[in-house]
Amino acid sequence: MTVFGIGISYGLATLLVMFSGMPIAFALGAVAVVFMAIYMPSASLDTVTQNVYEEMASITLLSIPLFILKGAAIGKSRAGQDLYSALHAWLHKVPGGLGVANVFACALFAAMAGSSPATCSAIGSAGIPEMRKRGYSGGFAAGIIAAGGTLGILLPPSITMILFAVAAEKSLGRLFLAGIGPGLLLVSLFGTYAVLRFRKEYATAKEVYEKTGTTSPILVHDDFTMAERFNVLPRVLPFVLLLTGVMIALYGGYATPSETAGLGGLLALLLIALIYGVWKPSDLSPILTSTIRESTMLMLIIGMSLLYSYVMSYLTISQSAASAIVAMHLPKWELLAAILGMTIVLGFFLPPVSIILMTAPIILPPLRAAGFDIIWFGVVLTIVMEMGLIHPPVGLNIFVIRNVAPDIPLSEVIWGTVPFVLLMAFAVLLLCFFPEISTGLPNMIMGPDGSP
């Protein structure tokens, strides 16, 4: 069979197995092993475990379970609710300040946790009921949290970016820095939309009140005294200091990413012990259990995805696909559009982890040949994959929201996320026209990237 035929059958077999309901990690591993048995020397099957182990035995990947530990320590405590309450107290005078507070809370929590589902769950469990209680529509409240949660894979320490740095063989520190500008851009866009949408819902509620006399909680203004504002700060400042300390350790060159992750995890455990009294074995058990479960799931997906990519490379599927894309001689920006379009389609079925590890061997060579900055592309790709977290059918954050707020119909949640998907697409366009939004900070701090 030709390489083209093998590639088509490889892709179809993957889709078939995934749609059968098999977990992603085992689906990828099963397809890889079957094709190894059919098309590769029989001795290659003896090296499956060795290949998976060698692919995962990366010092960079070690940071993933450590960052997950930090996120679990914060997410399983009352830190998310305290963070949200403090921001709400300080932003209550802004129109839609509660929605803006949730956006900022998601951004700060994402920067500490590095996980989108953890951000959605921690902030959503406190934020959605509060927004609903104050008259925000279900779709609006769900959309804010679902979209805010996606910042977990863009703002450092992003687990998705760690994997991209490994796949692209690029500096993780530079990639983390490159995500800060676009992350702040998305926070600004989300916050602006929250203000505009609130004004619309407020005007509608006011019009109904004037016509029928029916009042809405959205018409009631919260008020906090200056003393109340300052009273909520002591519980939040330690976590802001934790975030600042981790960033200084990483970008100041005092620690490697793995060492920084370990430092962050230990400091998070220390803070929740001191602030919330979480130190007993019974208190720590949910944190450690959550860390082990999520780490095991991710590392299995990573290991099997890398085995899957290894088989693709051995059978020259990825090289042939890259050569075919290059042979099409697409103009530079059409090539980028085609690759991002493919990523959007893959986002219908796959999580970001699998998308990166499965497509990196195919898409990076032609992008390098076209002269794209791979660090910049990693950020753009991450934003596109953020869309996949909030659109069906996979839409992981949508299902997290459903667990947090089961009273909001799924259709409302989906429609509530649509404006944020459009805002992400707008952010990608801005990055294409103004790449300095992403590349400016790493170039300023670490100097121009001289790597090919």
Domain boundaries, the chain: 60-299+330-446
d(CA 361, CA 168): 8
* Whole-structure pTM value: 0.78
Token readout for 184 is 């702040």
Mean pLDDT of 2-18: 83
CB-based contact 408:146 (threshold 8 Å): no
Amino acid 45: pLDDT: 79
Angle among Cα 365, 253, 65 to the nearest 5 degrees reads 70
pLDDT: is 199 or 317 the higher one?
199
pLDDT value of position 452:
45
Question: Mind listing the pLDDT tens digit for each residue in 376-391?
Answer: 999 999 999 888 888 7
Q: Is the CB of residue 142 less than 8 Å from the CB of residue 109?
A: no
**Helix, strand or coil for residue 254?**
coil
**Mean pLDDT of the region 285-290:** 86
Check pLDDT > 90 for residue 438: yes
If residue 201 lies in a helix (H) or strand (E), which one and from where to where? helix 172-212
pLDDT score, position 377: 95
Average pLDDT over residues 168-183: 89
The DSSP string of 362-387 is: HHHHHHHHTT--HHHHHHHHHHHHHH
Element (H, E) at 124: helix 116-133
Residues 6+ positions from 126 with CB-CB distance below 8 Å: 80, 81, 84, 85
**Section 175-192 average pLDDT:** 93
Q: Given this model, what pLDDT does residue 256 score?
A: 75
3-state SS class at 283 = helix
More confident residue, 374 or 68: 374
pLDDT, mean of residues 169-185:
90
Residue 319 pLDDT class (50, 70, 90 cuts): low
394 pLDDT band, cuts 50/70/90, is low
Percentage of the chain exceeding pLDDT 90: 15
Stated length of the chain: 452
Q: Which amino acid is at 52?
A: V
- 287 to 108, 141, 188, 273, 300: CA distances (angstroms): 20, 27, 32, 12, 20
Q: How far apart are CA 163 and CA 166, in angstroms?
A: 5
How far are the Cα atoms of 53, 62, 154, 181 from residue 178, in angstroms, in the given order? 30, 21, 9, 7
- ∠302-172-390 over CA atoms, to 5°? 55
| CA–CA distances in Å: residue 261 to residues 71, 157, 346, 429 | 10, 8, 30, 32
Highest mean pLDDT among 105-114, 185-194, 211-220: 185-194
Report the alpha-carbon distance of residue 89 to residue 232 in Å, rounded.
8
Sequential DSSP letters for 39-77: HS-GGGGGGHHHHHHHHH--TTTTHHHHHHHHHHHHHTT
> How confident is residue 80, by pLDDT bands cut at 50, 70 and 90?
low
